[in-house]
A and B are shown apart, each in its own frame.
Chain A
Amino acid sequence: MSAKYEPLPTYPERQPSQPTRRKRPISTQLEFLRSLMSQPKAILGLVIMAIFIIMAIAAPVIAPGDPGRFVARAHQPPSAEHWLGTTGQGQDVFMQVVWGARISLFVGFTVGFLSTLLGLIIGMTAGYMHGVVDSVLNMFTNVFLLIPGLPLLITLASFLPPGIITVILVLTFTGWSWPARVFRSQTLSLREKDFVSASVVSGEGSPFIIFSEILPNMLSLVVSSFFGSVTYAIAADAGLAFLGFENVNSVSWGTMLFWASNNSALLQEAWWTFLPPGLCIALVSFATTMLIYAMDEVTNPRLRSEKEIIRVLKRFRIGSKRSTPVVREPFK
């Protein structure tokens, strides 16, 4: 009953505790980015996002001129001169879409950044501090969570002067509580980990622990939350603008929708006045959602291993079975 042993290909001598791969160790964050970049969903999301950002920045180059200017007769369908036709006010739709991206994306990303920041500050403080501080901040967060979002948005927007600053403030005001809750619960759980206790025993102060030990472990959550806020902000901004709470003379995707509605675009069958801005909003949301999905996959090991399993099954042409497959072919 002897065990036959197949000779292995030769390989260089290895000491027991050598790293098996790269020469320079790569940090956890870089590792995370690398695997993120290799996901098709992430690439798709980034590409779409990049297109829109470039479009917004290069607006003067792509569609030179003032997008609010009267250029032709109203409600002209798309043509060679005006690629996406004209609005009910006789403005060029294509120019409006390109320039409108600026405001929409600016509002989206600013609100995303501010609500994430506010959520981090309040959420992490509450999660780490325990006791009275936590109770107070937590109650505060819960109150904001419970207030119905849209009515609050409308109420606030209606007695503040219309404009971008208002919209940003209002959206941040209603949007910080959800991230705060998420960050608080993650901080609570990370706080109990041994490496945090080890820092305390080393004499580390609380602020350093929060920023240097706990926060880096929440990186993927923060980024996901940021993109989630961006998605919310862009859609909510469009909604507010559609309802007329933004400066209707400025050009953004939301105001385009407002004017389209005002000018009875549906009745006029002027689909080119509302379809492009709507599509842009949808595409940007799609891009951010793809990024969030990709991040989920990278950080959730179970999702990753399921993909691996499907890959293995396909490679050996095994149907999905419950029992371990037996494949008696030598490989390589």
Chain B
Amino acid sequence: MAQNGRPRLSENLSNSQSLLDIRDLKVVYLTARGPVRAVDGVSFAIRPGEVVGLAGESGSGKSTIAHATLRILHPPALITGGHVLFNNRDILEMGEIELEQFRWSNIAIVFQSAMNALNPVMRVRDQLLDVMQYHGIPKAVASEQAIALFDLVGIDPQRLDAYPHQLSGGMRQRVVIAIALALKPSLLILDEPTTALDVVVQKDILHQISELKEKLGFSIMFITHDLSLLVEISNRIAIMYAGEIVEKAPARVLFDQPLHPYTLGLMNSFPSISGDKHRLTGIPGSPPDLVNPPPGCRFHPRCAQAMPICSQEAPVTRSMSDSHSVACHLYAEV
């Protein structure tokens, strides 16, 4: 560990100590109809240099986890339990000032739509410099670093003086990535970074991110609903449903041997462009209401393999093998 508590980027990957350790995180939204349990006891860890994918549909809570990690959720959201340890410092215990220094230099986030993150009336250069200067980098140094950053993400540094609307969608997303990497964080959270982009640009951006990861050595939390994307780029994947993690495994293992019925259903929802054509079924029903989630297993109303116990007791997460765990009564220890 370096003196200031930040890990060196060349940290040995075999160091099993986690970079980010989320334990039993609970987030609630207070609405007029009652508290919505958006995240209800989620635990997972990200090791240095690892890519962890978080897959789920709308209402699964995956974006909420990302925002809660950085504590950028707005009221009526409340974090009601758990710990988010980053290099053994609990982010949930940090005060306002500590958080302002902590954010961006340790963990940065890339949002879904670049236009949400970029100020339309400021030149891109100024937005980049703004971030760096706020964290104490003097202007001259920041200007040089800005050019280097643009180079790094593959934009011609001459475009630094453009306004966001003068750039294409792909380029805007690269700008957002450049801003995220400005302070060389050790963890980069990507919240549906390519959903709004065309598939060709998407591949380009993902390729770029892979290269950057190799070069700079940061870890990635990749959030998306597109499971097929995750299988390509993640080391490990966690599947979320209705605020809980239902299955966790290394990417290839998950793809070859999905255990949880929801995972199976998800995989059965993506037609492929190769392989044989057969009828896909998807998953019947719709995501549950999180003010009154179904009792027992939250997935049971939509599960083809539901048993009586599924509507009575919530399943406990069980490790099936080294690093493959699932929360389902089908695999409960007898």
Asked if residues B43 and A3 are in contact (CB atoms below 8 Å), the reply is: yes
**Cα–Cα distance between A111 and B226 once the two chains are bound (Å):** 57
Q: Given A2-B318, A3-B317, A323-B96, is A10 in contact with B295 using a C-beta cutoff of 8 Å?
A: yes
Stretch at the interface among A150-158, A259-267, A308-316: A308-316
> A309 to B75, Cβ gap below 8 A?
yes
Give 1 or 0 for each of A5-21: 1 = CB within 8 Å of chain B CB. Answer: 10110110111110011
A residues 308-332 near B (Cβ < 8 Å) are 308-309, 312-313, 315-316, 318, 321-331
With the chains together, A38 CA to B318 CA distance in Å?
A: 49
B76 in contact with A14 (CB, 8 Å): no
What's the Cα separation between A328 and B311 when bound, in Å?
28
Give the Cβ gap from A199 to chain B, nearest Cβ, in Å: 27
Is A1 in contact with chain B by the CB < 8 A criterion? yes
Instruction: Tell me how many residue pairs across A and B have CB atoms closer than 8 Å.
Output: 96
Quick one: which of B79, B81, B244 contacts A324, CB cutoff 8 A? B79
Stretch in B2-10, B64-72, B179-187, B216-224 with 4+ CB within 8 Å of A: B64-72
Residue pair A2, B292 in contact (C-beta under 8 Å): no
Tell which of B43, B75, B79, B92 touches A312, judged by Cβ atoms closer than 8 Å. Answer: B75
Task: State A315–B40 Cα separation when bound (angstroms).
Answer: 22
Contact A16 B302 (CB under 8 A): yes
Stretch at the interface among B128-136, B150-158, B159-167, B282-290: B282-290
Cβ–Cβ < 8 Å partners of B318 in chain A: 2
- What is the size category of the interface that chain B forms with chain A? 35 or more
- What residues of chain B lie closer than 8 Å to A321, measured between beta carbons? 96
B283 to A: closest C-beta gap in Å: 10
- Contact partner of A323 among B72, B293, B311, CB < 8 A? B72
B208 lies within 8 A of chain A by Cβ = no
Considering the complex, give the chain A residue whose CB is closest to the CB of B21.
Answer: A1
Check B79 against A326 for contact (C-beta < 8 Å): yes
Q: Would B316 and A5 count as touching, CB distance under 8 A?
A: yes
Residue A130 at the chain B interface, CB threshold 8 Å = no
Instruction: For B289, list chain A residues within 8 Å (CB).
Output: 14, 20
Question: What's the tally of chain A residues with a CB closer than 8 Å to chain B?
Answer: 35
CB–CB B41/A327 < 8 A: no
Given A3-B42, A3-B327, A328-B81, A20–B291 Cβ distance below 8 Å?
Answer: yes
Interface positions of A from 1 to 47, Cβ below 8 Å from B: 1-5, 7-8, 10-11, 13-17, 20-21
Q: In the complex, what's the smallest C-beta–C-beta distance from B265 to chain A, in angstroms?
A: 14
Give chain B nearest CB distance to A79 CB in angstroms.
53
A3 touches B244 (CB 8 A): yes
| Pair B99/A323 contact, Cβ less than 8 Å | yes
Q: Identify which of B74, B92, B294 contacts A14 (C-beta below 8 A).
A: B294
B277 on the A face (CB < 8 A):
no
Contact B286 A1 (CB under 8 A): no
Write the residues of chain B forming the contact surface with A, with a CB cutoff of 8 angstroms: 23-24, 30-33, 35, 40-43, 67-68, 71-81, 92-93, 96, 99, 244-245, 285-286, 288-289, 291-295, 301-302, 311, 314, 316-318, 325, 327
A residues engaging B (CB < 8 A)?
Answer: 1-5, 7-8, 10-11, 13-17, 20-21, 305, 308-309, 312-313, 315-316, 318, 321-331
A309-B75, A322-B96, A329-B80 are known; give 9 further A-B pairs, CB within 8 A: A3-B41, A5-B314, A15-B301, A323-B99, A324-B75, A326-B78, A327-B79, A327-B80, A328-B81
